[in-house]
Structure 1
Amino acid sequence: MYGEHMHRIFTLFAILVCFNSPGRAEPSDLRTELKKSTSQKVTRIIDGDTVILKDQTRVRLVGIQAPKLPLGRRGFKGWPLGFASKKYLSDLILDKYVTLYFGGQRQDRYGRALAHLFLEDGTWVQGEMLKAGMARVYSFADNRAIIPEMLQAEQEARRVSTGIWALAFYQPKDQQKSASFHNSFQLVRGTVTEVAKIRGTYYVNFGEDWRQDFTIVIKSRAARKFIKAGIDPTSYGGKTIEVRGWLKSYNGPMIEVTHPEQIMIIQ
């Protein structure tokens, strides 16, 4: 039953997001899928996805990525709408009490809490940032709770080209031009020409020359997550899909996928 549900989410996602589903979970429902933790006052906003609480806990809003700010990094050029994203988050939660909820790994290597934040009235902070186009979904294999709901919130902003989605900087890149954007987090779109499985690893190829054309790599450990979700990676063959992740250069442009939610079937 679970596999069928997950397969429906990913294969019909592009159709479903075009409508307002009456069964869509409200924030109060989402909290039942997470583990409740402490409530604290937000005393400082670092950027559009990082805040500091009264007890000095630094919280990374799990599951989203806001436009990056320089934050003292020499030579780093801030991303478009970085300050707008920070202001939007400030207006939403600064000097207000939030409750932390966890859905997976609770802390990153920098010691930041990886939490979903909810205001006292039940407002889901990540959802608000995504719907406003002030962040995009940025998920990890060890923190997959309520990713479908985050993707749906993101789609609301994308449909009307609001916030970051009005800018080419954040738009999905055509796979044929993806090589120009390596070493960055990107959404890449294209039609799969073939899927090869070699020693447990799936190579989702978008061109005839796998040494130069864009490829998605799904290693065996990640592939097990796809199979558990009822998704056979070979089924992507011939389909137009969108994938999100860090674009690297290895025998051409490549994104290594670690969990199914990174891929969305367009048609």
Structure 2
Amino acid sequence: MKAVILLFILYLPSITSAGTLSLIGEERWVTVAKVYDGDTFKTRQGEKIRLLGLNTPETRHRDEPGQIGGKAAKEALKKLILGKQVRLRFDKEKKDRYKRTLAQVWMRDGLWVNGWLLKKGYAHVYTFEPNTHWTKKLLREERFARNQTLGIWNTSRFKLLKAKKVSGKNIGQFRVVQGNVDQITDKKGWRFKLANLHVSIPKAYRKSFKRPPHLKKGQQVVVRGKIRISSKERFFLTLYSPADLELK
């Protein structure tokens, strides 16, 4: 009896601050009734599903113009899943702050929809703790599209940005930036500089990295996040997840 209780405890999900918790591997089938954009759809039962671990460019909404690649991503997802049954699988946290269900999605024939969108260049990886179970696989699919400059990676808005090319026009943009470490402002590498871009990992998010980056001067890295400008007029980018930092 004690062994059974212990086994049950080991499989309980950890408590987090938001969302509905689930056991990794939990799954169910739904039928797609509507596709809102490249990463969100509605089921026949009215449940709104957000594809987990990625983000596609925004589509046109009211008076806001869509981003490059947004319409293409929506049409691709629509053609692939609309009216069909798909299998949902969940990570540790099942809902986002908008009450949408977060899921990895598979077709009847075994096609992994999230991975397919990334590999075709319709999306970029976008992950946060605690939902990181599929992160490595998601990054692998995105990296393929990036290396082949497919889809969004072949547009001026999303293509890999060299750190030395960061400028005022990039403020507020989510970008994937490549550069060499010019300066390390923290012994363990929690803060460093790529050309004129200051990069940092806040204390609140360092636990998810397991260990400090321990970067070396001149080392090539790829970082991802929103480019901002500080009160001292310095460009900076904050890393929140291990997926936001790729070491070369």
Q: TM-score, normalised by structure 2?
A: 0.83
Give the SS at the match of 2:190.
strand
After TM superposition, the structure 1 = structure 2 runs for residues 251-262 of structure 1, keeping only pairs within 5 Å, are: 251=232, 252-262=234-244
Structure 2, unaligned stretches of length 5 or more? 1-22
Q: Do structure 1's residue 186 and structure 2's residue 168 form an aligned pair? A: no
**In structure 2, distance between residues paired with 1:219 and 1:237:** 21
Give the SS at the match of 2:50.
strand
RMSD over aligned CA atoms reads 2.0
Aligned to 2:26: 36
Q: Do structure 1's residue 52 and structure 2's residue 42 form an aligned pair? A: yes
After TM superposition, the structure 1 = structure 2 runs for residues 1-40 of structure 1, keeping only pairs within 5 Å, are: 34-40=24-30
**In structure 1, distance between residues paired with 2:146 and 2:226:** 20
Q: Do structure 1's residue 197 and structure 2's residue 186 form an aligned pair? A: yes
Give the SS at the match of 1:69.
coil
Q: Is the 8 A contact 1:206 1:215 kept in 2?
A: yes
Shift of 1:179: 3.3
Greater relative contact order (CA < 8 Å, ≥ 6 in sequence): 1
Shift of 1:132: 1.1
Q: TM-score, normalised by structure 1?
A: 0.77
Q: 1:84 aligns with which of 68, 72, 89?
A: 72
**In structure 1, distance between residues paired with 2:61 and 2:133:** 29
**In structure 1, distance between residues paired with 2:191 and 2:247:** 16
Structure 1, unaligned stretches of length 5 or more? 1-32, 208-212
Q: Do structure 1's residue 157 and structure 2's residue 145 form an aligned pair? A: yes
**In structure 2, distance between residues paired with 1:232 and 1:219:** 12
Aligned to 2:60: 70
Q: Is the 8 A contact 1:139 1:147 kept in 2?
A: yes
Q: 1:170 aligns with which of 158, 165, 187?
A: 158
Q: Is the 8 A contact 1:195 1:233 kept in 2?
A: no
Q: Which runs of 4+ in 1 moved over 4 A?
A: none
Give the SS at the match of 1:89.
helix
**In structure 1, distance between residues paired with 2:160 and 2:151:** 15
Between the aligned residues of both structures, percent identity stands at 27
Q: Is the 8 A contact 2:86 2:108 kept in 1?
A: yes
Give the SS at the match of 2:240.
coil
Shift of 1:236: 4.7
Aligned to 1:115: 103
**In structure 2, distance between residues paired with 1:194 and 1:134:** 34
Q: Is the 8 A contact 2:73 2:123 kept in 1?
A: yes
